[in-house]
Amino acid sequence: MSDSTDHEQSASVPPADFKDLERWDREVVWHAFTQMAEYEPLIFESGLGCELTTSDGRVLLDGVSSLWCNVHGHRHPTIDAAIHEQLGKVAHVTNLGASNSTTIRLAKRLVDVAPENLNHVFFASDGASAIEVALKMAFQYYRQISPAQPQRTKYISLTRAYHGDTVGTISVGGMHSFYGMFKPLMFDIVSAPSPDCYRMPPGIETEEDAKNYYLGQLEKVLQENHNEVAALVIEPIVQGAAGMITQPQGYLAGVRELTQKYNVLMIADEVAVGFGRTGKLFACEHENVAPDFMCLGKGLTGGYMPMSATLATTEIWNAFLGEHRETKMMFHGHTYGGNPLAAAAAIATLDVFEAEDTLAKMQPTIARLTERLQQIAEHPHVGDVRQRGLMAGIELVADKESKTNFDWTEKRGRRICEHATSNGVWLRPLGDVIVIMPPLVISLEQIDQLCDAIESGIQNICPA
């Protein structure tokens, strides 16, 4: 079921119009984050467990969980059945002033498994929207408490943060190489340096010192700005899109203490790290952190349907209550927010975590990945390996001693992933960081297959 290699039902003969599909895929479909002038079609037809089959019959191990969202494998019978069952009831009704039983049940389930005090759930469809909702809720909250604090119009985020691609989320994001051109559209933020345990600040040698250094930097930022800040937004434990940058132990708990000390709301962006990726259901659990907002996306529906959620505390919720004429309601909504088909997939995803004891079963797989990464780290062009649970990054460097990067135009990371894909393992890099983010049900053999493909890719593209 989870790691089945049974592909009898998958397409092995390309569709009759395969040549047309390839052409339309190049010329009609505008792919995200893809240079269409250079795009080589990779067209999937079906999936099962941790594998995907392309339209021309190639079977690939899904090493990136179809962009970080698949959790229990493709075509999981429990999730498939839940969606079928919901289809027998209704596919969609709005949640603007109305509801449906499936979405209500999901909201209650999320509150039950989330860190304490996160008792209210606002649904949207994408991770970025969940962050936008939290940003707006924090902003509106300070206008509606008494006494109101309308001067709180700023946000704090980390320098290499990624929270999505909408204008609000790129404003709190730090990937300036992508988004610099949109600067005139973005609002100002205050940033604190992203903790980095590979390229540590001068004079800092241990993880513990790094933690204290980065918390000190954040505290300075808070001291100067706290009265104008509505919220701090952070990816807990791992900054994913930044290149799988792992935070020093204790950093997240320290951030929580500081936000409480300076009275700033904390938004935990669990869109990538949530739903078991780091070895716990939510990354905040590693350091017993209960934020004011928690944003979920990607794995929420097991990687089946677009759905995201913003969980908020009762303190936040209460500031939005009042009579209609007080206009205190949350001024935000998405047409498909709380979609019942997606909610059915999300409930089934949580059911499978329980029924299959996924988090416990991952432990040997996590250990095997650690072992394999240690071997890979020996390679002269591997500068760093970083792992939390089944989220990992391998950073390639031109020179290990000085930690100098390769010239980015050489596309080393991309070429290694292309090499792996031609050897049966689908991967997508982040620059020169090879990303490992498989479905949580990946088997030990498949971990080996994945790491073998990466090793061979590194040997080929970055010979010792």
Ligand X SMILES: *Cc1c(COP(=O)(O)O)cnc(C)c1O
Give residues in contact with ligand X (CB under 6 A). Answer: 126-128, 131, 162-164, 235, 240-241, 269, 271-272, 297-298
- Which CB atom, from 230 or from 296, has the smaller least distance to ligand X? 296
Could you tell me which of 53, 129, 63 has the C-alpha nearest to residue 339? 129
| Nearest-approach distance from CB 268 to ligand X, in angstroms | 10
| Nearest-approach distance from CB 199 to ligand X, in angstroms | 21
| Nearest-approach distance from CB 220 to ligand X, in angstroms | 25
Q: Which of the 8 DSSP states describes residue 285?
A: G
Strand blocks (E) in 185-251: 190-192, 229-234, 238-239, 245-246
| Nearest-approach distance from CB 333 to ligand X, in angstroms | 17
Measured at CB, which residue is nearest to ligand X? 127
Q: SS3 for 435?
A: strand
Residue position matching structure tokens 């089959």: 53
- Which CB atom, from 60 or from 172, has the smaller least distance to ligand X? 172
Residues 6+ apart with CB under 8 A from 233: 131, 134, 135, 155, 156, 157, 161, 163, 172, 267, 269
Contact status, residue 445 vs residue 425, Cβ threshold 8 Å? no
Residues 6+ apart with CB under 8 A from 451: 369, 372, 373, 375, 376
- Which CB atom, from 170 or from 319, has the smaller least distance to ligand X? 170
Direct distance between the N- and C-terminal alpha carbons of the chain, in angstroms, rounded to an integer? 40
Q: What DSSP assignment string belongs to 368-430?
A: HHHHHHHHHTTSTTEEEEEEETTEEEEEE-SBTTTTBPPPGGG-HHHHHHHHHHHTTEE---B
- Which CB atom, from 168 or from 279, has the smaller least distance to ligand X? 168
Q: How far apart are CA 61 and CA 48, in angstroms?
A: 10
| Nearest-approach distance from CB 443 to ligand X, in angstroms | 25
- Which CB atom, from 241 or from 350, has the smaller least distance to ligand X? 241
- Which CB atom, from 49 or from 291, has the smaller least distance to ligand X? 291
| Nearest-approach distance from CB 240 to ligand X, in angstroms | 5
| Nearest-approach distance from CB 127 to ligand X, in angstroms | 2
Name residue 73's amino acid.
G
Other beta carbons within 10 Å of 229: 25
| Nearest-approach distance from CB 250 to ligand X, in angstroms | 21
Could you tell me which of 432, 329, 436 has the C-alpha nearest to residue 62? 436
- Which CB atom, from 246 or from 443, has the smaller least distance to ligand X? 246
- Which CB atom, from 240 or from 457, has the smaller least distance to ligand X? 240
- Which CB atom, from 241 or from 458, has the smaller least distance to ligand X? 241
| Nearest-approach distance from CB 19 to ligand X, in angstroms | 31
